[in-house]
């Protein structure tokens, strides 16, 4: 089935800017069987470990992380772009190709020692995921692993997430 997931991903040339080949996951989302399988494979990355919460990164990561949390019967923690969370937050900045961005997490989203799986749709350079890891670490989360549907291995993002275990369903 990972081959059917791979076949469903659409390459969009020059999006969002020239020279980028965007991996469009919307065909997977539109196919109930493929979406179900993708969520199942992300759940399997835990290898049977017990977790308390699944954290997801704004925005496409929310789709996968919330479904994984529901499937596992645990809570969901949103890690959002700056200014989108309504309560007290912690925030951290990370580098973009041209500038920087900020992600936030509610201060009470995770209590110290809670076991958390971080889920996102895609690992590219690793900047956003590393910022999310930093926030979870600051709250005292026991980060069991970081799982992605897609990894663009040629961009080397995995190296920014050490020493945490990284699992990717599809590697390009």
Q: Among all residues, which ones are annotated catalytic? A: 60, 97
Q: Spell out the residues 6+ positions from residue 32 whose beta carbon is closer than 8 angstroms to its own.
A: none
Check: CB of residue 114 under 8 Å from CB of residue 53.
Answer: yes
Q: Cα–Cα distance between 9 and 148 in angstroms, integer?
A: 14
Q: Cα–Cα distance between 44 and 166 in angstroms, integer?
A: 13
Question: Strand pairing of 142-151 and 166-171?
Answer: parallel
- List own/partner pairs for 160-164 with CB under 8 A and 24 or more apart: 160/125, 160/126, 160/127, 160/129, 160/130, 161/123, 161/126, 161/129, 161/130, 161/133, 164/133
């Amino acid at each position: 089935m990972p081959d059917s997931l791979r076949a469903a991903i659409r390459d969009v040339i020059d999006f969002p800017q020239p020279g980028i080949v965007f991996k469009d996951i919307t065909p997977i989302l539109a196919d109930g069987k493929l979406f179900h399988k993708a969520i199942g494979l992300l759940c399997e990355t835990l290898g049977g470990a017990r977790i308390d919460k699944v954290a997801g990164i704004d925005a496409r990561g929310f789709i996968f992380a919330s479904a994984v949390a529901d499937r596992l019967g645990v809570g969901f923690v949103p890690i959002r772009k700056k200014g989108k969370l309504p309560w007290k937050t912690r925030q951290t900045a990370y580098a973009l190709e041209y500038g920087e961005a900020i992600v936030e997490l509610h201060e009470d989203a995770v209590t110290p020692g809670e076991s958390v799986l971080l889920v996102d749709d895609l690992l590219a350079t690793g900047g956003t995921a590393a910022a999310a890891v930093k926030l979870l670490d600051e709250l005292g989360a026991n980060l069991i692993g970081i799982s992605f549907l897609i990894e663009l291995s040629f961009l080397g993002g995995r190296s920014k997430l050490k020493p945490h275990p990284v699992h990717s369903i599809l590697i390009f």
